[in-house]
Amino acid sequence: MNALVIYDSEFGNTEQIAAAIANQLETQGIVRLLSVDDPAGLNLIGVDLLVVGGPTQAHGTRQPLRDWVERLSPSMLRNVAVATFDTRLRWPLFLAGSAADSIAKTFKHHGAELLVPPESFFVEGREGPLAEGELERAGMWAETLISQYTTDTLPSILVHGSS
């Protein structure tokens, strides 16, 4: 598996979650962890799994991440498994909104298939810190991505692989 984890982070909370996800994914292959501001993040050549996350602000995604996702074309996302996450306050979804949901909708609009439903990780206040146990939960979520990725791609490998 060749994974790319892209994150947008204003106060460092989302970056911590992204790093925990990337660390767990590294048990199964090559992983690049990049800020949304890194121009290398637009290179999806050879990427099998794309994980994208950012903080929830004003019920959605911050502009840098919105712009990054909008620059992706449907052809860039062909044959790439996608997962989205966010960091947000532990408020009801209708009050807080979700950057992960917003990102996922844009990916779906571009024709991408989500590997798993969008996931939220919680912060204690606008600037953080992360709620207790969220880094561990991020690692467990990454294990779910690995498991789902393996389940979704194994039949294809068996059908199209060599004998």
Can you give the pLDDT at residue 41? 84
Is the preceding omega at residue 155 within 30 degrees of 0, hence cis? no
What is the count of structural domains for the chain? Answer: 1
> What is the spatial distance between Cα 121 and Cα 90, in angstroms, rounded to a whole number?
8
**Alpha carbon distances (Å) from 21 to 41, 94, 145:** 16, 26, 9
> By the 8 A CB rule, do 50 and 82 touch?
yes
- Quick one: tokens of 31? 């992983």
Q: Which residues of 76-112 are buried (b: 16+ CB within 10 A; e: fewer)?
A: bbeebbbbbbbbbbeeeeeebbbbbbbbbebbeebeb
Distance CA 96, CA 35 (A): 24
Q: What CATH number is given to the structural domain containing 66?
A: 3.40.50.360
Q: Check residue 161 and give its pLDDT.
A: 38
Contact between residue 45 and residue 58 where contact means Cβ atoms under 8 Å apart: no
Per-residue tokens: 92: 């009801």
Cross-strand pairs, 90: none
Range of the domain at 38: 2-160
Q: How many residues does the chain have?
A: 163
Per-residue pLDDT of the chain (163 residues; tens, 9 = 90+): 999 999 999 999 999 999 999 999 999 999 999 999 998 888 999 999 999 999 999 888 999 999 999 999 999 999 999 999 999 999 877 778 999 999 999 999 999 989 999 999 999 998 999 999 999 999 999 999 999 998 876 444 333 333 3
Q: Give pTM, 2 decimals.
A: 0.91
pLDDT at 153: 62
